[in-house]
Amino acid sequence: MSNVQIIAVAAGDADIRLDRWFRRHFPELGHGRLEKLLRTGQVRIDGKRARAGDRVSAGQSVRVPPLGAALSEKRPNGSAAASVSEHDAAAIRATVLHRDTEVIAINKPAGLAVQGGTGTTRHLDAMLDALRFEATERPRLVHRLDKDTSGVLLLARTAAAAAKLAAAFRHKSARKTYWAVVAGVPRPQRGRIDLPLAKLPGRAGEKMAPEEDGDAAVTYYAVIEQAGSKAAFLALMPITGRTHQLRAHCAAIGTPILGDGKYGGASAHIAGVPGGRALHLHAREILLPHPSGGTLRIEAPLPPHMHETWQFFGFAEDDGDVFADLEAERR
């Protein structure tokens, strides 16, 4: 961090306060130090002076000044930062699904956090140097997946590509399809969940709940296969990108995602299913404009625990592009 950085705001960071954005991306930077950088105009949004309470939008550029060698070499817990281990570097490279001069797509493993935080020292953001390959720039995150959700995650290899990809998410030009196993079978078997969500107060960890005055949240779903009345293989297409949206929506219609005790409690577990305690939510496919033109379509195979569950229930690993007919409404 010896040089000024210009970082494009990812879709997953949209509408949060600037000070929270810094806590996510630079957790080692104290609030007092950030305030000083803001007062002196060293931190800017799209070239303009900014305040800690300003909310950022996807695609905006945040100017991050040099933060100092001592600061960049500290983790939030004060220990010295280490380079990516050979084991982690090999593991994250093995997840690459697609690579070109502007975009890298990986199949993020379940259980790997995208960014660090309190108590989280092993995360994708700390491994990005292993995905430079021949490039001089470190790839950039343009959206996020929850720690326990697996599947397609895109990285931009240049600042220009990051801005274009973030704009695609912001303008809903990206179509994302998730696969899940849920406990029970939704009725009807295909539908639209239009249920605003708001963050619950308290210290029990980040959790969302239906709330009339919450943020708009829309999800399309379709039952692909079912195992009697016990479980169903769902395809899910979120139109909005709220925190834990798919988990909260599935629980709200009475069919929590398998393994999601946080939202479904005991009803999210089915006796006898191998790996049934792990979250069964996977970002299966993403379809969006490529920064250089044309269309980028990436598909990620199921993680081991979900593949085992598919075999257990006899589900086919295909959904036939069930949402192709919703393209016009999605936009």
Residue-by-residue DSSP string for 113-139 = BSS-BTTB--BGGGGGGGG-TT-SSPP
What is the C-alpha separation between 113 and 92, in angstroms, rounded? 12
What single-letter amino acid sits at 127? M
Residues 208/195, Cβ–Cβ less than 8 Å? no
Number of CB atoms found within 10 A of residue 69's CB: 10
Using a CB cutoff of 8 Å and minimum separation of 24, what contacts does 139-144 make? Answer: 139/104, 140/7, 140/8, 140/10, 141/10, 141/12, 141/114, 141/115, 142/8, 142/10, 142/11, 142/166, 142/169, 143/10, 143/11, 143/12, 143/169, 143/241, 144/10, 144/12, 144/13, 144/114, 144/115
Of 239, 219, 209, 206, whose CA–CA distance to 16 is shortest?
Answer: 206
Helix (H, G, I), strand (E, B) or coil at 284: strand
Residues 6/53, Cβ–Cβ less than 8 Å? no
Annotation says 146 is catalytic: yes
Of 258, 264, 218, 252, whose CA–CA distance to 234 is shortest?
Answer: 258
Task: Give the DSSP H/E element, type plus range, for residue 174.
Answer: none
| Helices and strands (H and E) in the chain: how many | 9, 16
Could you say which of 146, 194, 215, 318 is catalytic? 146
Tell me the β-bridge partners of 156.
103, 140
What is the C-alpha separation between 145 and 304, in angstroms, rounded? 18
What single-letter amino acid sits at 50? A
- Residues annotated as part of the active site: 146
